[in-house]
Amino acid sequence: MSLKDELEKKVAERTQWETRRQFGADGPNMRRLWVLACMDERMPVDEALGIQSDAYGGGGDAHLFRNAGGIITDDAVRSAMLTINFFGTKEIVVVQHTGCGMLSANGVDLEKALRAKGIDLDNITLDPTLPEMKLEKGAFAKWIGMMDDVDETCIKPVEGFRNHPLIPKDIVISGWIWETEFRRLRAPSKDAPHRGVTQATAASMGVKDVQEPRWK
């Protein structure tokens, strides 16, 4: 291949990368992948999954969505629904991690701390653009989404996406745990020997009280 051909190919690939969203399902990300991950700076999504989710100019393996704990929320569902139904995505991966800050306190205690600052949590605006979105009285601690067990909280979003009417049944969905202590990936498990030396539970981080259940 001549240098001219190489340059033309690079320019064409770059242009496609820049403009892919205008092609909808015909311009998907490289891996047709949507990733839900914790916002923690110690959660290296690309390293954990072996992808390039946000590399400039030639990366773009996945649409990456982060929130506190990497949990399924209305906005996570909204984003997954859009990328899957309109942008050609075929797979969902949920990746959470040990030592997560969402294991480090009880949601009820966080609620008390906010109330102590004078915040009226019984009349709170969740989304300034959608003031009609409200929490039932007493649901704030549950809404925060603190967790007792990172493995269990990884399994739940997988089930939630699989059973959600906005997510097609043919989408491949899996969940994984990144062990922050050892920089390695494993499948979620409630089997103690597989996670006994990691901070996989709230109890392992000194939290004694059980969280308000987010899922029934």
The pLDDT of residue 123 is 87
What is the value of pTM for the model shown? 0.85
| Pairwise CA distance, residues 99 & 77, whole Å | 25
The pLDDT of residue 189 is 87
The pLDDT of residue 147 is 93
Domain ranges in the chain are 26-102+146-204, 106-145
Q: Considering only CA atoms, which of 182, 183, 180, 102 is closest in space to residue 144?
A: 102
The pLDDT of residue 29 is 92
Tokens linked to 1:
């291949």
Mean pLDDT for each 10-residue chunk of the chain (216 residues)?
Answer: 94 87 91 97 95 74 96 96 98 97 94 95 89 89 93 94 97 97 91 68 81 71
The pLDDT of residue 194 is 60
**What class does CATH assign to 26-102+146-204?**
alpha beta
